[in-house]
């Protein structure tokens, strides 16, 4: 019977301004789901800490695949500046996504040190 453990999925981190895999907040800080494990993203949020909108693109990359248009989940969108009333943007396109061993989430921001991303979910072990 599988075991489910609620966990931070992505600790707060800046989205790089060159496409790169996000770092998971699980032991070893991997950029891909480890063997014999599945991750389910429950919530994923991004905040713009600058004073102007910044673009964001996100890919769900299966094991052995690339961050190409076939795996694009969130095309280039503008993330508005964080405010008291709207502190972050929910990336609902990935809510509920189940990642299998070797899978990764890639992202790119239009500007360095502008977008912070974080998320929570479940670690599932068989």
Q: Confirm if 25 and 8 have CB atoms less than 8 A apart.
A: yes
Q: pTM for the complete prediction? A: 0.95
- With CA atoms as reference, report the closest residue to 66 among 93, 32, 39: 32
Question: Total structural domains in the chain?
Answer: 1
pLDDT computed for residue 126 by the predictor: 81
What per-residue confidence (pLDDT) applies to 30?
97
Residue 58 domain boundaries: 3-125
The CATH code of the domain that includes 36 is: 2.60.120
| Residues in Cβ contact with 69 at an 8 Å cutoff, skipping those fewer than 6 apart | none
Average pLDDT over residues 23-30: 94
């Amino acid at each position: 019977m599988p075991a489910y453990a609620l966990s931070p999925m992505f600790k707060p981190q800046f989205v790089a301004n060159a496409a790169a895999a996000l770092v998971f907040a699980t032991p070893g800080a991997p950029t891909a789901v480890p063997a014999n494990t599945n991750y389910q993203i429950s919530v994923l949020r991004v905040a713009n800490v600058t004073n102007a909108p910044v673009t964001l693109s996100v890919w769900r990359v299966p094991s052995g695949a690339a961050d190409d248009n076939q795996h694009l989940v969130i095309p280039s969108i503008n993330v508005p500046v964080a405010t008291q009333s709207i502190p972050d943007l929910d990336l609902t396109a990935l809510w509920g996504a189940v990642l299998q061993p070797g899978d990764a989430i890639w992202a790119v921001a239009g500007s360095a040190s502008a977008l912070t991303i974080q998320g929570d979910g479940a670690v599932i072990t068989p």
